[in-house]
Amino acid sequence: MVSPAEDIRVAVDLIVLTLREDALSVLLVQRDDEPHRGAWALPGGFVELQEDLDEAAYRVLADEASLGSGAVHLEQVRTFGAPHRDPRGRVISVAFMALGADLPDPRRGDDVADARWWAIDELAAIDLAFDHADVLACSIERARAKLEYTTLAVTFLPQEFTISQLRGVYESVWGTTLDAGNFHRKATRTEGFLLDLEKHAAPTGGRPARLYAAGPGTSLVPPLLRSGD
């Protein structure tokens, strides 16, 4: 069977999300080549022949963001393949979302003029390269939705955390405020969500908060809905 698609190339694009000072932020790189030279874009790269899709994503994560695979939760979002999304030719891109706690400032990679974290709210002002604004919007909506019915929020936090910090994740990602008391009850009473470490954090001007770690569960039943919006 002869392939009619020999000139299609396959890439992965990464939407690396973290919380920086309570703001949901994404890692962008400034392009050093045409097309879109000087524009900000999602980190990405072509898939190699002997490499699975998520291996490619991990490789790009290491190359362009100096992040090891242990630091993040990686998840496929969607594949984007409009014929002219890349002016160089036909490129189909598999978008991966990477969520991590307190990720470091990026070091500069190849083909890249600069790399930095952007708060989501800052991005209304700038134009992203290619269709990356769509890809990003799709991923952020996915992340927001998955906080509702999975335990994904803990991936934004260090190994040990307090309920207040966990609530802060929900508030920052959703852009809402939540009732502290009701959230506390809901989080602590949901089976499998949290592991009580039976110790306390250093106090920060009030009663010291109990420390928790991520529990064994991955889904939240019943879900934690952002109903009030």
Instruction: Give the distance, in angstroms, between the CA of residue 37 and the centroid of all CA atoms in the same chain.
Output: 25
Q: Which is nearer to a second copy, 11 or 197 (CB)?
A: 11
Residue numbers 168-207 binding a second copy by CB under 8 A: none
Q: Which is nearer to a second copy, 11 or 41 (CB)?
A: 11
Interface with DNA includes 163 (CB under 7 A)? Answer: yes
Interface with DNA includes 210 (CB under 7 A)? Answer: yes
Pairing of strands 194-200, 210-214: antiparallel
Letters for 38-57 (x = contact with DNA by CB under 7 A, - = none) are --------------------
CB of 118 to DNA, least distance (A): 27
Residue numbers 189-208 binding DNA by CB under 7 A: 200, 203-208
Residue numbers 61-80 binding a second copy by CB under 8 A: 76, 78-79
When CB distances are held under 5 to 8 angstroms depending on the partner's kind, the choice from DNA, a second copy, none that residue 124 binds is none
When CB distances are held under 5 to 8 angstroms depending on the partner's kind, the choice from a second copy, DNA, none that residue 7 binds is a second copy
Q: Which is nearer to DNA, 82 or 221 (CB)?
A: 221
Q: How far apart are CA 153 and CA 179, in angstroms?
A: 17
Cβ-Cβ contacts under 8 Å for 73 (sequence gap 6 or more): 98, 99, 100, 152, 155
Q: Which is nearer to DNA, 204 or 219 (CB)?
A: 204
Sign of CA dihedral 88, 65, 58, 218: negative
CA–CA distances in Å: residue 106 to residues 20, 27, 32, 103, 131: 13, 8, 16, 9, 23
Letter for the amino acid at 205? G
Interface with DNA includes 218 (CB under 7 A)? Answer: no
Residue numbers 110-149 binding a second copy by CB under 8 A: 111
Interface with DNA includes 144 (CB under 7 A)? Answer: no
CA–CA distances in Å: residue 163 to residues 36, 153, 201: 43, 11, 11
For the chain, the helix, strand and coil percentages under 3-state DSSP, each to the nearest 5: 30, 30, 40
- Where does this chain bind DNA (CB under 7 A)? 162-164, 179-182, 184-186, 188, 200, 203-210, 222, 224-225, 227-228
